[in-house]
Each structure stands twice: as C-alpha cells, then as structure tokens.
C-alpha cells in the first residue's frame, strides 16, 4: 500500500513537472514604473519567459519577441504611465507574441527575466534608461494596442508557375518580389504587421492560403497575381473581391462543418449545449462577419484602384466580384490584385522590371494604409492614434502641447483647423 502510494505520488509529481514544462506562457499583467531617470516596465508572466529583444530607430522602438505564448496577441490593461513610452502594442503568431514599445526618444534598454518572489510570480522586466530626461513632458497614460495584420499572398509558386509570358517569364516570379516589398513597407509602418502566406518558391494549395491567413487572425488578405489572356492585346491592372454568391456558398459549407462552429463562436460555443441554437448563432456570426468583410474588401479594393491608376493602366476601373483564387473566405476581408497582363508583351517587360515592381508595392501599401487610417479596427494602434484628444488647461499653449505630444505645431494647427495659435482653457484639441 505504501509503495503504491509512493508510485502514485511520483507519477503525479512527474505529471506536474511535465505539464509545467509543456505549459504555454501568458502575459497576465503590464505595470509601468516611471522614475526621474529611468522607466521600468514589468510584464507579469504565467511561467518563465522565453524572450529575445532588439531595438529599431526612426521611429525609436524596442521589440520583444516571446515564444511559447498561448492564446491571442492582446495585452492586458496597462497600469502606470511614462513620458518615454508613446504606446505599447502587440501582435501574435501561433505560439509567439511580439511586443513593441514605441519610444519618444532613443534610450539604452535592458530586458531580463525575474523568478517568482512573493507577491509576484514570473516576470519579464524592461528597463529604459534616460540620461537626459525629457523636460516639461508630463507622462501620458499608455494604452495597449495591437497591430493591424495584413496577410500577403504571392500567387502560385513551386511547381505551379501561374501564367507564362510571351518571353517565357513566370507569373510566380513577379508575384513574390512585389509581395515581399509590400511586406517590407508594411513592417516598417508602426501599427501594421505583414504576414507572408508563402515566403519562397513553393506551392501552397488555395484552401491552405486562406487557412494560414485565418490562423494569423489577419485583418485583410491581399493576394497578388498577374493576368493572362489568349490574345496579346488585353492589358492593365484589376482588383477582385469575393462574389456574394461564392460567399453565401462558403457560409453554407462552414455551417455544415459543426466542428468549425466553436472556432467561429469562440468561448460562446462551450456555453450553448443545444446544437440548433449553436447553428443559429453560428449563422448570425457568419452573416455579420461576411457583411463586414465584403464591405471592407470593397473599400480596400477602391483605394487600391485609386493608387494603381497613378502608376499603371487599369483594365477595369471598378472592383470586380468573382470566385477566383483565394477569394473564398467569407470571414476575412480579401482582395485579389491582378497587377497587369503577363500575356501582353509590353506589360510583361514592365512587370519584370524592378522599378515597376517597387512602384506597385508602394501603391498597394499607400492604399492599405489609407484604408486603415480611415477605418481602423477598434483595438488597433491606428484607432488609438486617431482618437487622441487633449482638453486645454490653464497655462497651456500650442507650442507646449506640440512638445508634449511630440508633434509639430503645424500639424496641430492643421488637424484642429486653427486659424491662429491662441487656444482656450477647456477647448478639446485633436492630437495627430
């Protein structure tokens, strides 16, 4: 009996040890502690953090990558404030989380883990050292914000060359460099993050492409292709969105797969025990998200056409609806951009040129950024920046506020449509 007990206990202990090794980590809290010459940020962790960090400049940022992180990319509410930090934002991959601290100026940084000491558990500590304190800048409360995730799909790849131009050039070899450059532009933009569906010359099935985008919780899926026709004349770019008919078919298909309901409904599915109600709710959620994604896709497609019109000939001036390529996810806003006709000899030459490829990437980026500046997701950094407001107190001037928020006086005047520099106590100003 004693022996048995011992074995059971050892087994239990082993189980506990094994599960603590395998357990995914989680950020449970964020605390900011400012002092005159440094700021300490403490991330309360569920387990010992596995982390890497590096800094970027113009704009100044500290990037922390955490691995073995479970569940989503949203940070808990941040307590505390600092004059050094503009924003703390986060994004996530499967098992990974990236935290970006947007800083007001270049600072020395130090990132390290601390073991549990009551009352605290595991912690990841970030110290920002400030040898020349930012004068006259009262700290501003920091809110957690996430990056807008753009999934970029370079059409075709591997054994699938896509269309082949008259000179023998492959579509797959145009889509990848344009996609890669677009991703680079997006990743350099604070508040946006790109995720490449394929990163090199290999084949991925169309169904898998939308799954990858869904797995990354993408706000938008952009698929890049080049058009082709049997005669050499047709030319120009076009932008395609999911057709209503295909969207409805896909909704029906997703509803048939009951195992997908919980994926769609999140935690709610566990509360509803009744499959009829679950199906009804899944239908409602899908209809709502289908509406949202189709409207979003149409708006983005229009912005993209507006930009492409500046640098390329347009084959179609309006967004086109179709059920082609990756345009099959009713729950993710998706567009497919045909950047030109590879079957047209002149356009094939143009599409092969590095300078035209970078113009295309730049146009796509400008259009996407403008769309998300106009309609940012509520929990994104873009939304946070758009909603910054300041109520004027006694003794404050336009130049003081410009300094405090690290913006130019011109921008403040412009966004608030001020004809002079005089502001009144109690007046609410928008901060760009």
φ, ψ for residue 185, nearest 5 deg: -65, -45
Asked whether position 340 contacts Zn ion by CB under 5 A, the answer is: no
Interaction of residue 162 with Zn ion, rule CB under 5 A: yes
Q: Which is nearer to Zn ion, 41 or 242 (CB)?
A: 242
**Is residue 227 a contact partner of residue 234, using CB atoms and an 8 Å limit?**
yes
Structure tokens at 385: 């920046």
DSSP 166: T
Cβ distance to Zn ion smaller for residue 161 or 232: 161
* Closer residue to Zn ion in complex, CB, 330/340: 340
Q: How far is the CB of 324 from Zn ion (least distance, A)?
A: 9
Q: Shortest gap between Cβ of 227 and Zn ion (angstroms)?
A: 8
Are the C-beta atoms of 240 and 327 separated by less than 8 Å? yes
**Residue whose structure tokens are 């082609």:** 324
Residues 211-240 binding Zn ion (CB under 5 A) are: 225
Pick 123 or 172: Cβ nearer Zn ion: 172
Binding piece for Zn ion, criterion CB under 5 A, among 73-81, 149-157, 298-306, 315-323: 149-157
For the chain, the distance separating the N- and C-terminal CA atoms, rounded to the nearest angstrom, is 73
Tokens of 215: 């797995």
Pair type for strands 334-341 and 220-227? parallel
Residue 155 as a binder of Zn ion (CB under 5 A): the answer is: yes
In sequence order, what are the residues at sequence separation of 6 or more whose Cβ sits closer than 8 angstroms to the Cβ of residue 22? none
Q: How far is the CB of 336 from Zn ion (least distance, A)?
A: 8
CA distances from 131 to 134, 178, 180, 233, 373 (A): 9, 43, 39, 65, 35
Q: How far is CA 81 from the centre of its chain?
A: 25
**Pick 10 or 167: Cβ nearer Zn ion:** 167
Question: Which range in 74-82, 133-141, 157-165, 329-337 contacts Zn ion by CB under 5 A?
Answer: 157-165
Q: Are 145 and 380 in contact (CB under 8 A)?
A: yes
Residue closer to Zn ion by CB (options 34, 325) is 325
Q: How far is the CB of 359 from Zn ion (least distance, A)?
A: 20
Nearer to Zn ion, 155 or 236 (CB): 155
Confirm or reject binding of residue 92 to Zn ion (CB under 5 A). Answer: no
Count of chain residues binding Zn ion (CB under 5 A): 3
SS3 51: strand
- Report in angstroms how near the CB of residue 223 gets to Zn ion at its nearest: 8
Name the residue among 285, 293, 154, 325 with its Cα closest to residue 220: 293
Specify the stretch interacting with Zn ion by CB under 5 A; choose among 159-167, 329-337, 363-371, 423-431. 159-167
CA distance 51 to 67: 6
Nearest approach, Cβ of residue 171 and Zn ion (Å): 5
**364 versus 429: smaller Cβ distance to Zn ion:** 364
What is the closest distance, in whole angstroms, from the C-beta atom of residue 237 to Zn ion in the complex?
Answer: 13
Binding residues vs Zn ion (CB under 5 A): 155, 162, 225
């Amino acid at each position: 009996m004693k022996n048995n007990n011992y074995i059971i206990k050892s087994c239990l202990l082993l189980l506990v040890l094994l599960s603590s090794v395998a357990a995914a980590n989680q950020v449970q809290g964020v605390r900011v502690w400012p002092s005159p010459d440094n700021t300490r940020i403490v991330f309360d962790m569920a387990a010992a953090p596995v982390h890497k960090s590096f800094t970027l400049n113009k704009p100044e940022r500290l990037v922390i990558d955490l691995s073995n992180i479970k569940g989503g990319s949203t940070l808990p509410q941040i307590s505390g404030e600092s004059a050094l930090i503009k924003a703390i934002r986060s994004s996530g991959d499967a098992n990974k989380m990236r935290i970006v601290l947007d800083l007001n100026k270049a600072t020395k940084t130090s990132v390290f883990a601390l073991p549990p000491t009551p009352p605290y558990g595991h912690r990841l500590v970030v110290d920002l050292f400030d040898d020349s304190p930012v004068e006259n800048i009262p700290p501003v409360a920091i809110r957690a914000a996430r990056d807008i995730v753009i999934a970029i799909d370079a059409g075709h790849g591997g054994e699938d060359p896509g269309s082949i131009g008259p000179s023998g050039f492959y579509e797959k070899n145009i889509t990848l460099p344009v996609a890669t450059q677009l991703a680079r532009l997006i990743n350099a933009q604070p508040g946006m993050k790109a995720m490449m569906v394929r990163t090199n010359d290999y084949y991925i099935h169309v169904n898998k492409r939308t799954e990858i985008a869904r797995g990354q919780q993408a706000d938008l899926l952009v698929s890049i292709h080049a058009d082709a026709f049997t005669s050499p004349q047709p030319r120009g770019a076009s932008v395609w969105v999911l057709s209503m008919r295909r969207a409805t078919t896909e909704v029906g298909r997703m509803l048939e797969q009951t195992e997908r309901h919980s994926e769609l409904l999140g935690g709610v599915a566990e509360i509803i025990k009744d499959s009829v109600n679950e199906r009804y709710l899944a239908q409602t959620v899908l209809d709502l998200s289908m509406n949202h994604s189709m409207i979003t896709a149409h708006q983005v497609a229009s912005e993209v056409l507006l930009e492409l019109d500046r640098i390329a000939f347009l084959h179609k001036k309006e967004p086109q609806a179709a059920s082609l390529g990756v345009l099959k996810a009713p729950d993710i806003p998706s567009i497919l951009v045909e950047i030109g006709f590879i079957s047209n000899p002149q356009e094939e030459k143009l599409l092969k040129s590095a300078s035209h490829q970078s113009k295309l990437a730049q146009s796509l980026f400008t259009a996407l950024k403008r769309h998300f500046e106009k309609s940012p997701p509520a929990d994104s950094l873009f939304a946070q920046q758009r909603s910054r407001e300041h109520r004027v107190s006694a003794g404050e001037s336009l130049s003081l506020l410009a300094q405090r928020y690290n913006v130019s006086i011109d921008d403040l005047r412009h966004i608030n449509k001020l004809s002079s520099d005089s502001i009144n106590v109690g007046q609410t100003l928008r901060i760009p």
